[in-house]
Structure 1
Amino acid sequence: MPSIDIQVLEGVFSDAEKAEIIRRVTDAFGSVAGETIRGGTSVRIHDVRSGSYGYAGNVLTTEDALAMRRRG
């Protein structure tokens, strides 16, 4: 069945926020794919070490990501 992988910088999301992301992504996928497929969908959140993630050629840190979250 479907497998969805999400990569985030470590320390940016709490365990409760990760659980909510997993629930919402599963629900969103299921709303398109159907309830049977939703029931077999797995979602994994991978924490990437700070400084080991890049965006547009720039290295991002946990602090960078937290600053983005504060900006909304």
Structure 2
Amino acid sequence: MLGGVFTSEETAEIITSATVKAGSSVRVHQVKIGAWGFDAEMPRTKNGLAMRARGERRAGPDRAPAG
């Protein structure tokens, strides 16, 4: 996940909700800005925060916040 977007409590909730079977595990890796991309774009923390505020799961330039 993009670093700086989720609090420790939210990260724990994501882990809890993703661990559905006994014996399963979840690893959360927070990636620094500029060290990750998809669809030929490099998401920024502000994109992730705006996405989270809107309840979306994916951020990209077409969904970037104004300003």
TM-score w.r.t. the length of structure 1 is 0.68
**Structure ranking higher on relative contact order (CA contacts 8 Å, 6+ apart):** 1
Q: Which runs of 5+ in 1 are unaligned?
A: 1-7, 31-37
Q: Give the structure with the larger helix fraction.
A: 1
Q: How many residues were matched structurally?
A: 55
Q: Which of these two proteins has the greater Rg computed from alpha carbons?
A: 1
Is 1:71 aligned with 2:54?
yes
Gaps of 5+ in 2: 56-67
| Greater share of strand | 1
Report the alpha carbon displacement of residue 68 of structure 1 after superposing the two structures with TM.
1.3
Runs of 4+ in 1 over 3 A off after TM superposition: none
Q: Percent same amino acid among aligned pairs?
A: 45
User: Quick one: distance in 2 between partners of 1:47 and 1:56?
Assistant: 19
